[in-house]
Amino acid sequence: MYKGYVVDRDLLKKDQHFILACPQCHQGNAGIIKKDEAHKGLVKRPSDNMANCATCHKTVTDKYAKSLHYTTAGQRNGVMPRFSKEELKTFDAKVFEKSCRSCHASCGDCHVKSPAVGGISTGLLAKHKFVKKDEGKTCSSCHGGRVYPEYTGEYGGAPDVHYQKGMLCMDCHKKAEFHGDGKAYASKNQVKDRPSCRNCHKPGSESNPAAKMSHQMHADKVSCYGCHSGAEYRNCQQCHAGTGATAKPEMILGKNPRDKKTLTTLRLIPTVRDTFAKAGIKMENFDALPNYWDTPAHNIRKRTDRTRSCDTCHVEKKNFLTKEKLIKDGSKANEDLIIVPKPIKR
């Protein structure tokens, strides 16, 4: 191993990326021995400029440049309806470009070195080896606040049944989903061929008659997560209120804001009216969006409280969103997501 560099000598022979010399990506001054002078002009994250990767991977980078992982357009477009036209200009300049855009993933963030999340990076994935995939390091670096710990059971206490069977992120989320298809989508909800429970679990294929009947009765009325989310999941309470991030495990059931005919799991997005006040944004259309959004909880179980007994929902009304539970200073649109389960005729 070269002193001061986490590059294995054998790696230079095995990884074809090392056909290139370091300065071809990182720049600096290759002909100078002294470190400080040699590192002048050094580019720490060369893949931030995708032209470096495009030299060999142009087909991929052309598509990735428009992907949601790179543009983070989903964050911008998700909150945009709350702003007036003038407020949106201010948001783009003072908030989105300086804060939200810092979450975008360059090629190297997934394939070489973990990005700094909250100022902390887990470092090189494998001694500067260009890693094809490593869900435990690459996916979890950015999605380790909610999705990954819920999936593994580190948060909420019940690991996802698919994780217990040995499945990882890319068993459901395929490579094309990450790299994009060359189209610029406003949000992930516009992307076709996203993972769906029904891709593997075909309706009508149930071997258990009771399960088949239950699925037929709840079809297009309740999402799969509504019944099969196995435990409480992370819900942030303060991170968008400017008072420091706090979270607690909680399961919330209510109407899907994108489809009011469907009951599903909801996740709290605690944006309050003065969230962007420091940037001079009052959010003139604050009530245009709710604070609770449909969430594909990654803690699926075959049997849950709701699959074992109809009374959990229809009598006890457990985990349902109520007016008393609504976030303080939240949007008026939150009330539209409250649903009261109908009693069962016995």
∠162-168-171 over CA atoms, to 5°?
Answer: 90
Instruction: Specify whether 229 is located in the same domain as 340.
Output: yes
Instruction: Specify whether 205 is located in the same domain as 102.
Output: no
**Burial bucket for residue 252 (CB in 10 Å: 0-12, 13-18, 19+):** buried
Helix (H, G, I), strand (E, B) or coil at 252: strand
Could you say which of 75, 106, 137 is where a domain stops?
Answer: 106
Helix (H, G, I), strand (E, B) or coil at 151: helix
Torsions phi, psi for 337 (to 5 deg)? -95, -5
pLDDT in tens, 257-272: 999 999 999 999 888 8
Could you say which of 53, 82, 106 is where a domain stops?
Answer: 106
∠339-272-223 over CA atoms, to 5°?
Answer: 30
Q: What is the pTM of this model?
A: 0.88
Instruction: Specify whether 207 is located in the same domain as 326.
Output: yes
pLDDT in tens, 88-134: 999 999 998 887 777 778 999 999 988 877 677 778 888 888 998 88
pLDDT, mean of residues 177-206: 91
| Domain membership flag for residue 134 | no
| Domain membership flag for residue 166 | no
Query: Based on the structure, what is the number of domains in the chain?
Result: 2
pLDDT, mean of residues 41-47: 91
pLDDT band at 2 (very low <50, low <70, confident <90, very high): very low
| Domain membership flag for residue 15 | yes
Q: Residue 43 is part of which domain span?
A: 1-106
In the chain, count H helices and then E strands. Answer: 18, 5
Question: Given a cut of 60, is residue 1 above it in pLDDT?
Answer: no
Residue 39 tokens read as 């590192």
